[in-house]
A and B are shown apart, each in its own frame.
Chain A
Amino acid sequence: MSGLPATARQLGLLNCHDCHLLVEAPADGHDHLECPRCGAPLHERKPNSLARTWALVLAASILYIPANVLPMTITSALGTTQADTIMSGVIYFIHSGSWEIAAVIFIASVFVPLLKLLILVILLLSVQLRWRWRPKDRTMLYRLTEMVGRWSMLDIYVVTILVALVKLGAVASIEAGPAAVFFAAVVVITMIAAESFDPRLIWDALEEDS
């Protein structure tokens, strides 16, 4: 309806990533070009988007394993110590009847990071193999990963609150386990990965072929 049959790139325009000002690209390349309104560096597409996103997705996938296998918390109570992984925490909540909390932790800590990595891999492959399949849905998938990724920080915060509250001398104490560090790294790296991916690449294949 209000869409014009052209993209900014086809008309030689650069869309400022920060303030969305349209700037005419100079004929002699546009390295080190700055937005005249806000000063942000201008690029036709995010630089090295595919390579950077692949590297970050790979790193996060590797770190996802120790994050799930190693203990997230170490609880000492009355002389006994117990190490809990993310999954054993979920199982604890199921057994104690709080299945809503079990579901929340499972979704935020196990399901969302995995889903996010999977979606990013699919998007990366789809751009590299120049799929023309459902670009609008793939853009929606991208927005989904951007939106939900941060919620995986939930378990990190739970651990923070637990270690603050539970340090009752000899009776009981909770310490953060090594998985907490790996898990935090997974969340941060996948957030940066989603940020480095340029969804406009999904649409570029359509124009270049036609």
Chain B
Amino acid sequence: MPVVACHDCDLLNRLPDEAAATLLCARCGAVLQKHKPDSIERSLALTLAALILFIVANSFPFLAMKSGGFVQETKLLTGIVELWRQELYGLASLVLITCVLVPLLQMSCLLYILAPLKYDRPVPHAIRAFRLLRHIAPWGMLEIFMLGILVALVKLGKMATIVPGISVFAFGLLVLVMAAAVTVLDPPLLWARLDRRP
């Protein structure tokens, strides 16, 4: 009899017969399983789109500020470099990790896991990559950075003219596409497909 244990309360729950059903823990209500149709293809397509948007967001000017005769143009990485220059190394690293490295690693892991699965070619360490993906997920904070941009714009809007660049729009799209790529993922299905035990 196929059974799963709830990760939040340890109660054993019987898996439903229909694959399409959503299974909630009978005792604490945690979502234990939720079928997502075509999850591998969809997530793969969204990940590729996210990767392109990520490159665009990092290559073009992000925001430009005009005040008096000065024009200050910045890229996505400028703030991190500036924090580093102010000797706030920990803070600079934290922003670099949560807004650049983790999202990049998430996209790489997704590509590495999903592309071979789509063509049924097993690759080494795919399981390790999936575990890594699950562990770093809370530390990717693109959507929070996006909200930070909006707050900063309002704050500076009073003292200068801010011109948003291509990057801001690419970044906004990236946030949505990235969230979608993770949402359409079906972890129980992936674990079953990646299982290499005899």
A and B together in one complex: yes
Cross-chain contact A38 with B95 (CB below 8 angstroms) = no
Q: Which of B67, B91, B94, B158 contacts A171 (CB 8 A)?
A: B67
Q: Are A8 and B10 in contact (CB under 8 A)?
A: yes
| CB-based contact B151/A11 at 8 Å | no
- Identify A101's interface contact among B10, B81, B151, CB under 8 A: B151
Contact residues, A1-57 vs B (CB, 8 A): 1-4, 6-9, 11, 13, 15, 17-22, 36-40
Given A163-B82, A199-B8; A39-B128 close (CB under 8 Å): yes
Given A171-B70, A180-B91, A203-B9, the answer on whether A38 and B127 have CB atoms closer than 8 Å is yes
- Chain B positions 147 through 189: 1 when the CB is less than 8 Å from some CB of chain A, otherwise 0: 1110110111011001000000000000000000000000110
Whether B63 sits at the interface, judged by CB under 8 Å, is yes
* A160-B26 contact in complex given A20-B5, A154-B147, C-beta closer than 8 Å: no
Q: Contact between A135 and B10 (Cβ–Cβ < 8 Å)? A: no
Q: Is the CB of B95 within 8 A of A157?
A: yes
| B-chain residues with CB within 8 Å of residue A196 when the two chains form the complex | none
Please name all residues of chain B whose beta carbon is closer than 8 Å to the beta carbon of A22 when the two chains form the complex.
3-5
Verify if B44 is at the interface (C-beta below 8 Å from A): no
User: Is B91 within 8 A of A200, CB to CB?
Assistant: no
The answer to whether A162 touches B4 (Cβ under 8 A) is no
Binds B, one of A61-69, A114-122, A136-144: A136-144
Whether B118 is near chain A, meaning CB under 8 Å from some CB there, is no
Number of A-B contacts (CB under 8 A): 196
Nearest-Cβ distance from residue A208 to partner chain B, whole angstroms: 12
Residue from the list B5, B8, B91, B159 in contact with A176, Cβ < 8 A: B91
Contact A13 B5 (CB under 8 A): yes
Chain A residues within an 8 Å CB radius of B11: 3-4, 6-7, 203
Contact, CB under 8 Å: B74 / A162: no
Across the interface, A156 reaches (CB within 8 A) one of B4, B91, B128, namely B91
At the interface, yes or no: B121 with Cβ under 8 Å from chain A? no
Decide yes or no whether A125 CB sits under 8 A from chain B. no
Besides the known contacts A3-B11, A156-B94, 6 further A-B residue pairs in the complex with CB atoms under 8 A apart: A2-B15, A101-B155, A157-B99, A163-B82, A172-B159, A195-B138
Question: What are 23 of the A-B contact pairs (CB < 8 Å)?
Answer: A3-B12, A3-B25, A4-B14, A17-B7, A22-B4, A38-B131, A93-B154, A101-B155, A135-B28, A136-B28, A139-B9, A156-B95, A160-B95, A161-B148, A161-B149, A162-B152, A162-B155, A163-B82, A168-B72, A184-B90, A200-B8, A200-B9, A203-B10
Residues in B lying within 8 Å of A, measured CB to CB: 3-5, 7-16, 23, 25-30, 63, 65, 67-68, 70, 72, 74, 78-83, 86, 88, 90-91, 94-95, 98-99, 127-128, 130-131, 134-135, 138-139, 141, 144-145, 147-149, 151-152, 154-156, 158-159, 162, 187-188, 191, 195, 197
